[in-house]
Amino acid sequence: MNKEKLIIREMKEGEEREIVKTGRRAFPAFEALFVESPRMAMAAVYEDKIIGGIIYKFISSGGKRIAYISEAFVDPDYHGSGVGTKLYKETFCYIWDQGCDGMTALVKDDNVASWKLFMENGFKRVGAFEVIRQAGISGALLQYLKTPVPFAVGMDFYMVMKETSVKEKDTGVCQLFSFLASNFLLLLPVWLQLFRKSPQSLPVFMSAYFTVLSLFVLTRYAGTWFSRRSWKFRFNNGGSFLTVLLGLFGNTFPMNGNWYPDKYENTPDFRRDMAIPEIIKWAVFSLAALLAFTGIPYLRSVSQIICYYLIFIIIPLYPFEALGAGRIYRFSRLLWLFTAVLTVLELTLVFHFAG
């Protein structure tokens, strides 16, 4: 590819369909359905063909104009050719020239190809309080309402500001506390419903839920012992509305938190190391689901929550892939199929015989 012939420019009128077509080629089948026709976009053009694009929109509040990067993609035929590097750099320069005060984006937790390009252009991975500090309460609320973050399970929020320094999200103990506290507080609808129906069972179910959340973290941590890599825990921003929404129907659903390596590699050994924590979590959860056959209320509550989680942690598609199945699927599709089939059989057994 002759990089001198690569042009990065603003999308022209009538190119919306071509931008969407290119974007859908760049994403997996199900995820591609979420690429919408853009009102504003930059296009990477090579020999009169659009081979990449960045779709964005402006969100204004409190005197600040912030550009949200909704989609960024390169045609798979041109991956590794440097198109992404030039597309990101020139797009962000163009957006800054439009007089905005900052930019934000959502990126999947393990999509290193994407978040590396954002970080190379000054973006930092941020938490909710930093978004409020930079954009104000109204601005942060608009970022929540006008982006997919309420449903984006396993996604992290990225931000860069023109005039102020952005504080990067911590890792470790603080993130672990945020994961436990946020999941617990977002289920207030569940706790209120349970209190109205059966006050005496509330402490039992709440303790069971905390047990499951702890297993969610600890089983994954145990899996990191099988590699020599350095791992840190991080709580993902996305998916809070799903937790609340399903809570209104009396169900529990976790926002995601996981252990992440300091360095990513595109090797079979790395994909294995990433999959092992999820396999251990799945195995422990599968065994714990059998607690439904006991007569102890606390253990049956643990099983009830875990059975519900098992449904989601075997789905390797956006937005649920970050709960575990995505890493297993990328390592071995056969192994993922094995876990999925066993899970379906076990849940059928539990629901049929244990109620």
Q: What is the DSSP string of 107-176?
A: EETT-HHHHHHHHHTT-EEE-HHHHHHHHHHHHHHHHHHSSSTTT-TTEEEEEEESSSPPPPPP-SHHHH
pLDDT value of residue 118:
95
**Strands 6-10 and 41-46, how do they pair?**
antiparallel
> CB-based contacts of 32: which residues, under 8 Å, 6+ apart?
23, 24, 25, 26
pLDDT value of residue 62:
82
Contact 279, 223 (CB under 8 A): yes
Structure tokens at 63: 């005197």
- Separation of alpha carbons 115 and 121, rounded Å: 10
Low-confidence ranges of the chain (pLDDT < 70): 1-3, 355
Structure tokens at 142: 């608009």
pLDDT value of residue 355:
64
> Looking at the whole model, is its pTM more than 0.85?
yes
Query: What is the average pLDDT value for the chain, to the nearest integer?
Result: 93
Contact 88, 72 (CB under 8 A): yes
pLDDT value of residue 319:
86
Using one digit for the tens of pLDDT, what is the confidence trace for 98-147?
Answer: 999 999 999 999 999 899 999 999 999 999 999 999 999 999 999 999 99
**Strands 64-74 and 257-261, how do they pair?**
unpaired
Contact 140, 149 (CB under 8 A): no
> CB-based contacts of 297: which residues, under 8 Å, 6+ apart?
201, 204
Helix (H) or strand (E) holding 230: none
Helix (H) or strand (E) holding 220: helix 202-224
pLDDT value of residue 321:
94
